Amino acid sequence: MATMADVARSAGVSVATVSHVLNGTRPVLSHTRQAVLNAVDALGYTPNTLARSLVTSRTRSIGLAVSAISNPYFTEILQGVEAAALEAGYSLLIADPHDDPVHERKVVQLLHERRVDGMIVAPSADPHDLVAYLSRHSVPTVFLDRVLPSGDPAAGTPHLDQPGPEQNRSEQAGPDQETGPGPARLGQEAGLDQTGFDQAVFDQVCAENSGPTARLVTHLAGLGHRRIGLVAGLSGLSTTTERIVGYRQALAAAGLVRDEDLVVSGNSEAAGAERATAALLSLPVPPTALVTANNAMTIGALRALRRQGLAVPDDIALCCFDDFAWADLFSPRLTAIAQPSREIGAQAVQVLLDRLATPDRPARTVRLPCTFVHRTSCGCPEDRDGAAGPPPAGPGRKTEPTALSEKGTAS
């Protein structure tokens, strides 16, 4: 088996130069670097990763803690993380926290004990113990998809009760002010003791949430809908909060009445969304259009609509946050917001590598834009090329609210 000394002799350089080329610890002239790499290839030299990690205190490995890896959205993020890590010469250790704060804390500790150089984590709705551990051990970390609360108690967090019709709480919508992620610190709005957190610095990478959600609601309002329901995600997640903010902003901009009974929690999963959608349909005046806040909840909502015998979009229009590979195979094809999943994963790796290279730089939050994918579940007709076109002229489909009979048909 070839050694580093063999590579040095073949390339005509010192062992130290070979080490600098392989470990990136010092700039080397391009022709010298190429000579070393040619010798490595010719001799089939394989670096001793364990020995190198003992010298450099780096393992060139990244820990990834992401829940619901079976979800196509997170699967694509994983692909982006893996490709970017591999290109940079890093291996990947993966764990699923299952969106459970206790399990989250355990798997992050296990990854840390494997001496990963840094972590990429999609935090749970209650990341107190997670952040406390990462802060205490100064683990370089990038938060993925979900961001930490801003720490501004005045910002407020939309609260969702479990789905179920309650008394009417309709009110004229006012202009909501979206609060961005702010400094990457846990704040008082999460009920946390600030001690030990003020100096914690975490980078964050996520998609835009409020604006794209508002885009869906604005589109439905433009089609004539006045009662638009939102099947929101798990309370406590920043994605849930921001998408509710976008929903409310769009209602206000369209001059629509904001009825809190039209916002229900699907807990970010299919079964919860099926129950939440059934609750919306049981309201005395149900919505004529729905927005679902992730792909799993879209499946649950469609199941509930099928159980009620309702057709999309003839009986109720549907738009969803998260596009997925088979969204255009549904009939009708789903109008959706597509997130740049792989780019989110790749950006998270790059931001983490930047943090490892410059540990003291200020924290940053990277937000990537989403794409509005216009199909036909919103009620727009399909043109000859298979794309959704503008709504038909004339009165079109009735969008004023009507009561539903016990069979779920308009009466």
Alpha helices (H) in 59-167, listed in sequence order: 72-87, 101-113, 128-136
pLDDT digits (tens, 9 = 90+) for 281-316: 999 999 999 999 999 999 999 999 999 999 999 999
- Range from 65-69, 280-284, 384-388 carrying the lowest mean pLDDT: 384-388
Q: Which residue bears the tokens 């790796």? A: 349
pLDDT digits (tens, 9 = 90+) for 1-13: 788 888 899 999 9
- Residue-wise pLDDT for 218-249, tens only, equals 999 999 999 999 999 999 999 999 999 999 99
Q: Is 4 helix (H, G, I), strand (E, B) or coil?
A: helix
Checking if the pLDDT of 188 tops 60, the result is no
pLDDT band at 71 (very low <50, low <70, confident <90, very high): confident
pTM to 2 decimals? Answer: 0.73
pLDDT of residue 45: 80
Measured distance CA(11)–CA(32) in Å, rounded: 8
User: Which spans in 137-269 are helix H?
Assistant: 210-222, 238-254
pLDDT at 387 over 50: yes
- 312-332 pLDDT tens trace: 999 999 999 999 776 667 778
Beta bridge partners of 371: 338
> Over 60: is that where the pLDDT of 53 sits?
no
Q: What is the pLDDT of residues 133-176, one digit of tens each?
A: 999 999 999 999 998 865 433 333 444 543 333 333 333 333 33
CB 284 within 8 A of CB 277: no
Of 146, 270, 127, 253, residue with least CA distance to 189: 127
Pairing between β-strand 61-65 and β-strand 91-95 as defined by DSSP bridges? parallel
Quote the pLDDT of residue 367.
Answer: 96
3-state secondary structure of 192: coil
pLDDT of 386 over the 60 cut? no
Contact indicator for 189, 130 with CB cutoff of 8 Å: no
Q: What is the rounded distance in angstroms from the CA atom of residue 163 to the CA atom of residue 297? A: 13
